[in-house]
Structure 1
Amino acid sequence: MGSGSGVGSEVGAGVDAASGITAPRRLRTYAARMSGGGSTGVRAAPREIGWSVLGTLLGLTLTAVPTHLTHMPPSAQMFVIGSFGSSAVLLFAAPSAPFSQPRCLVGGHVLSALTGVTTVLLLPDEAVYTGAVAAAVALAIMQLTRTVHPPAGATALIAVVEPHVRQLGYGFVLAPVLVGVLILLLVALVVNNLSADPRRHYPRTWW
C-alpha cells in the first residue's frame, strides 16, 4: 500500500519517474526551443540584389514561354509560375544553398510533379486530404532521393488542386514542369556565373 501510494503521489505531482523531470519543466524546455536567438543575416549588397533581380526577371520571363506555346489556360499558368517563382528566389538569392543545386532543382520538381499526378489518379481529387497526401509523399520521396527542393512541394500540390492542370495528366511533368525547370537552370548557370563574386558561382555540385 505504501509503495502504491508513493507512485500515485509522484504521478500526481507531474514527475516523470524515468527521467525525474517535472511536467512544467518539460513545458519550459519545449517552449525554449522556440525562442530563436540566431541572426537573420546581413542585408545583401546592391550589386547582389541586382544580379538576383536580373536572374529572376530573365528566368521567369523565359519560363512563361512554354506555357503559352502549350496553350495552357491563364489560371494554370499562374499556379505553375508561382512554384517556379519560389525556385527563382533560391537560385538567384542563395545559389550556394544545397536546395538550389541542379540535382535538387530538377529532381525535386519532377519527382513532385509525378507524385502529384499519381496521387490524383489514386485518390479522390475532391477529398480534403488529397493535396496534403501529395505534398507529404513528395517530401518523403525528395528526402529519400536527396533532391529536397522546398518550392517543389507546391508543384505536387498544384497537380492536385488546379483543375486545368489535372486535365494534363502526366503531361504536366514534361511541360511545363521539366521544360520550365531546365530553363531556370540554364538562366541560373548564365547569370550567376557572370558575377566575379565566387560566392555566386553556380553550381556548387551537379550531382
Structure 2
Amino acid sequence: MKRVGAFFGKMKGTEQAPTRPHLREILWSWVGGSAGIGAISVISLLSKLPLLMAPFGATCVLIFAATDSHLAQPRSVLGGYLVSALVGVIGLALFGNAPWVVALSVGTAIAVMQLTRTLHAPAGAMPLLALAPGTDTAMLLPTALTGALTLVGIGLLVNNLRSDRAYPRYWV
C-alpha cells in the first residue's frame, strides 16, 4: 500500500508554476511567433505549396519563448523534423497506416531523436502527419524542412536583435 501511495504522491508536484514573464518577453515572443508563421505563410502563397503545419506553431513557442531550451536549438528543430518525417514516411511505406504503425512510429521517432540528440517535441507529430489519410508523403519532408529552416532563420534574426539574448546556444 505504501508503494501505491508513493506512486500517486509523486503526481502532486513539488514546485509552484513559474512566474509570468515580463511584458517585454511576452511581446518579443509575440513578434517572433507572428514573424515566423507569417514568413511560412508568404512562402506558401508564393510557391503555391501547402507549407503550413500545426507543429510549426509549437516550434514558434520554443524558438521565441523558450529560446534557451535544448528543444529550441537549430540542431533539434531541423534534425527533429527530418528524423521524425523520415520515420513516418518509412513506417507508412513498409507497414501501411494501421494503428500499431502509428503508435510505433511516434515512439520510434522519439527514440531516434534522442539517439541523434535532435529531440524537438513538435516534430513528434510528423509520423502522425505522414500516416494520416490524404497526406502527400512526397511533400512531407520538403514541407517540414522548409518550415523548420524558415523558423530557425527568423529565430536567428528576431532573437539576436535583442542585446540581452543570443540564439542559438549551439549548432552541433
Question: Structure 1 residues 196, 109: CA separation in 2 closer, same or farther (over 3 Å shift)?
Answer: same
1:168 aligns with 2:130: no
1:202 aligns with 2:171: no
**CA shift digits 1:70-95 (9 cap, x unpaired):** 433xxxx5xx5210100000000000
Question: Structure 1 residues 205, 63: CA separation in 2 closer, same or farther (over 3 Å shift)?
Answer: same
Report what 2:125 is aligned to: 154
The alignment of Structure 1 onto Structure 2 pairs a total of residues equal to 171
Aligned partners of 2:48, 2:116: CA distance in 1, in Å?
30
**Once the two structures are aligned, what percentage of the paired residues are identical?**
36
For normalisation by structure 2, the TM-score amounts to 0.93
Report what 1:33 is aligned to: 10
Shift of 1:64: 2.5
Conserved 8 A contact 2:130-2:137: no
Q: Which amino acid aligns with 1:204?
A: R
Shift of 1:143: 0.7
Report what 2:116 is aligned to: 145
User: SS at the partner of 2:140?
Assistant: helix
* Of 83-92 and 37-46, the range deviating more from structure 2: 37-46
Aligned partners of 1:42, 1:193: CA distance in 2, in Å?
24
Shift of 1:123: 1.4
Q: Which runs of 5+ in 2 are unaligned?
A: none
Q: Which amino acid aligns with 1:168?
A: T
Report what 1:183 is aligned to: 150
- Misfit runs of 4+, over 4 Å: none
1:135 aligns with 2:115: no
**CA shift digits 1:186-206 (9 cap, x unpaired):** 000000111122xx3211111
Q: Which runs of 5+ in 1 are unaligned?
A: 1-23
Report what 2:42 is aligned to: 65
Q: What is the alpha-carbon root mean square deviation over aligned residues?
A: 1.5
